[in-house]
């Protein structure tokens, strides 16, 4: 299977986007991202499959787009895919907690750490809004793209940021 890739400049750094042959976005990574993708020799550099993603990301960063409408194809375990689908339901400018995500997918309260792990493994930063998930007490917790980017994205969206930044879940 071919993987297409391109870089896009953004207010949160240079983005690396990948897509499958159908044009579905398979990942969006930021520099220094924990678990982020890096270009491989067998990938094909081609900006063509990313025109719509580039337009929507530009509109998002300009404050003109509140919901992405792109074909996405991320592969994970059934549990991760349920968590990622729940991320898609968090409205622009809103936040939710790891516990609330667990409840949405029917997972037990004890599964909050597993939910956090699935959120941390989200391969589609920004377009699948894991930055909108915060700690139970309102604390800004881990973000694979870095807490500084999480703050910038939430600020862009006008989301309430009330608690100090704290590491961990």
How would you class 40 by CB atoms within 10 Å of its CB: exposed for 0-12, middle for 13-18, buried for 19 or more? exposed
Active site residue 130: yes
Residue tagged active-site, from 101, 115, 127, 130: 130
**How many other β-carbons are positioned within 10 Å of the β-carbon of residue 77?**
10
Measured in degrees and rounded to the nearest 5, phi and psi for residue 131 equal: -65, -15
What the block records as the tokens of 15 is 């983005």
Q: Are 72 and 124 in contact (CB under 8 A)?
A: yes
How would you class 27 by CB atoms within 10 Å of its CB: exposed for 0-12, middle for 13-18, buried for 19 or more? buried
Residue written as token pair 């500084």: 148
CA distance 86 to 104: 7
Q: Determine the distance from the C-alpha atom of residue 90 to the mean position of all C-alpha atoms in its chain, rounded to a whole number.
A: 12
Catalytically annotated residues? 130
């Amino acid at each position: 299977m071919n993987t297409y890739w391109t870089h896009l400049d953004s207010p949160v750094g240079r983005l690396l986007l990948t897509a499958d042959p159908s044009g579905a976005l398979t990942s969006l990574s930021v520099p220094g991202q924990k678990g982020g993708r890096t270009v491989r020799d067998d990938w094909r550099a081609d900006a063509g499959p990313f025109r719509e993603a580039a337009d929507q990301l530009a509109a998002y960063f300009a404050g003109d787009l509140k919901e992405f409408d792109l074909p996405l194809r991320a592969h994970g375990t059934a549990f991760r895919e349920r968590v990622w689908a729940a991320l898609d339901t968090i409205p622009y400018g809103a936040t939710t907690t790891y516990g609330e995500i667990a409840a949405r997918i029917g997972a037990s309260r004890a599964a909050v750490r597993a939910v956090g792990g699935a959120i941390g493994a989200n391969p589609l930063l920004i377009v699948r809004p894991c930055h909108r998930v915060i700690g139970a007490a309102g604390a800004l917790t881990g973000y694979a793209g870095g807490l500084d980017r999480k703050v910038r994205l939430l600020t862009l969206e006008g989301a309430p940021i009330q608690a100090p930044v704290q590491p961990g879940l």
